[in-house]
Structures are given as C-alpha cells and as structure tokens.
Amino acid sequence: MQQFDGKAISKQLRDELAEEVQQMVVEGHRPPHLAVILVGSNAASETYVNAKVKACKAIGYESSLLHFPPEISQTMLLNTIDELNENEDIDGFIVQLPLPDHIDSKTVIERVLPAKDVDGFHPINVGKMALGLDAFISATPGGIVELIKRYDIETEGKHCVVLGRSNIVGGPMSILMRRNTYPGNCTVTIAHSRTKNIKEVCKSADILIAAIGKPDYVTADMVKEGAVVIDVGINRVDDASRERGYRLTGDVAYAEVAEICSYITPVPGGVGPMTIAYLLNNTMIAARKRK
Ligand code: GUN
C-alpha cells in the first residue's frame, strides 16, 4: 500500500504558484489577490479560513479577510459581494459556508461573478464544468484530480464509486471522473444514504472516493483488494486524550483499509492540503485572465 502524500503534492503545487507570482511581479504586475468572506464564528470555518489566508501569504498572494458578525443581513452581505465583484484589485473571492440560517446560500452563491468565483460554486461554473468547458472547478474535487494526476493513477475504464452526492464534492467528483480525458474515462457510480447494497457497491470499486461525512464509515469489508481509496472526510470526533478535546478522522477506517488497498489518502494530510492548494490555483487562473 502506498499513501498519497497530500502535504507534499500540495507543496509542489504551491511552489509552482509561488514561482509564477514572482514572475508576475518581475513583469510589473501585482500578485493575485484572494478575498475571503466569513460570517459568524463557526470554529471549523474559522480554522479553514485562517489556513486559506495563511496559504496566500506564504506564496506571495495578497489576501483580504472580511469577517462579519453572524447577524449581518442578507442584503448587506449581497452588497459586499457586489463591491468585490466590481473591485478590480480583487481577482477572486469566496464566501465560506455554511452561512447562518437567515441567509440563503443559493442566493449568495449566485451573486458572485462567475469570473471571480474561485470556489467554483456558481451554477455557471458547475454547468460549464459538467459540459467540459473552461470553468473553475471547486477546490476539493480539483485537488483530488490533481492528486490522482500527480501520482499517475490509471483511471481509464476503471469503476469509480463516489460515496456522497453533495454539490461541493460528490456531485462534481462524479462528473470529473467520467470526463473524456485524464483523469477520467471511468465508469462512475454515485452511492449515497439511500443506495441499496451499499457495501457491495463500494466493494466493486477500483477507485473509491469517500465523501459521506461519517467517521470511519468505509470498513475493510467494503473495499476491493488493490483499490485506490480517497478519503474526503474531515470529521471531528470527541477525544478527551487530546488537548483540544477532539481528533480529526476521515470517512474511511484507515488502519484496516490500508491493509488491503493499493493507495490511500491519510486524514489529515491527504485531500485537505490539496483543497487549499487548488483554491490558490484557481485564484492564479483568475489573475492570469486579468494580466
Ligand atoms: N465549506 C466547506 N468547504 C468549503 C469550501 O471549499 N468553500 C467554501 N466557501 N466553504 C466551504
């Protein structure tokens, strides 16, 4: 079994981007600029957002964090989005999800200019991605594709089972794996909470992508020998032995599945770092268009 080293591959990608930033600056252009909107104080969201801002700084991007109290009105949030859409100093921006209940995420996502939607959540970007047109691919699926590519994993003709059908991960992942390109050309099955015989379906996968949000859900009896296993889960599980009171665990029961698969992503250190690197990659794509 080989472990995908998401940290190392993410660093590779970030180093390439850092080099491009230097080149841009030498040529007299300003570095890429990512803005991040955070509403409220969801602990996980704050961690992700801080990691994104830190990652920007580390490779020479400009970044702006717009942190609003949880009671901000939807109108004020939409006005802020309008301002960012028009601000030529910002190449791309994201609105960290989830948002408080009084704000409609769909309305918010649709307000972001598709050309600045580096999260790739806008229906225009999702639609274009599905049609194989030039579009921002959202960071988690994009990061996974990059990981598969850089490890030269064979995908053509393979049976890929995507466990989970969310708009952020499972949905786009299934589309990307069936594209007529590399990585892709898979026969794809989407399995979810209503799938019958879910164990058997998972066990028939050559490539299993688990994005179901349930800690240690995929056990060894659900995995084919030699399968490639990609664990997208980042679940917080109570753990009194840890100073912070919890530990992070994926959707895959790592120790037992690692015994039988050919490749596996660890949690943490697998898909997570790739997601951030891919957001930076999307921001560079947006910035290149402005040059
Ligand atoms: N919440 C969880 N993942 C993401 C992400 O990739 N982007 C945003 N904006 N919010 C998230």
Domains assigned to the chain: 28-121 (3.40.50.10860), 139-273 (3.40.50.720)
Residue pair 190/165 in contact (Cβ under 8 Å)? The answer is yes
Which listed residue (5, 91, 96, 251) is catalytic? 96
**pTM to 2 decimals?**
0.96
Indicate if the pLDDT at residue 82 is higher than 80. yes
Nearest-CA neighbor of 95 among 39, 174, 15? 39
Share of the chain above pLDDT 70, in %: 100
Residues 151-157, mean pLDDT to the nearest whole number: 98
Residue 290 pLDDT: 84
Question: What's the number of CA atoms in the CB half-sphere (13 Å) around residue 264?
Answer: 24
Share of the chain above pLDDT 90, in %: 99
**Structure token pair of residue 136:** 């921002």
Instruction: Give the model confidence (pLDDT) of 195-231 as tens digits.
Output: 999 999 999 999 999 999 999 999 999 999 999 999 9
**How far is the centre of ligand 1, averaged over its atoms, from the C-alpha of 28 (Å)?**
32
Residue pair 232/169 in contact (Cβ under 8 Å)? The answer is yes
Which listed residue (5, 91, 117, 119) is catalytic? 119
User: Is the beta carbon of 117 within 6 A of some atom in ligand 1?
Assistant: no
User: Is the beta carbon of 95 within 6 A of some atom in ligand 1?
Assistant: yes
Indicate if the pLDDT at residue 291 is higher than 70. no
What whole-number distance in Å separates Cα of residue 278 and Cα of residue 79? 27
Nearest-CA neighbor of 14 among 57, 62, 64, 65? 57
Q: Which atom of ligand 1 is nearest to the CA of 275?
A: 6
User: Is the beta carbon of 51 within 6 A of some atom in ligand 1?
Assistant: no
Instruction: Give the model confidence (pLDDT) of 268-290 as tens digits.
Output: 999 999 999 999 999 999 999 98
**How far is the centre of ligand 1, averaged over its atoms, from the C-alpha of 142 (Å)?**
13
Instruction: Give the model confidence (pLDDT) of 83-94 as tens digits.
Output: 999 999 999 999
Give the DSSP letter of residue 99.
P
Residue whose CA is at the smallest distance from ligand 1 atom 9: 96
User: Is the beta carbon of 119 within 6 A of some atom in ligand 1?
Assistant: yes
Residue whose CA is at the smallest distance from ligand 1 atom 6: 139
User: Is the beta carbon of 153 within 6 A of some atom in ligand 1?
Assistant: no
Q: Is 52 a catalytic residue?
A: yes
Q: Is 96 a catalytic residue?
A: yes
The band of 170, judged by pLDDT with boundaries at 50, 70 and 90, is: very high
Indicate if the pLDDT at residue 265 is higher than 80. yes
What whole-number distance in Å separates Cα of residue 201 and Cα of residue 132? 27
Instruction: Give the model confidence (pLDDT) of 3-14 as tens digits.
Output: 999 999 999 999
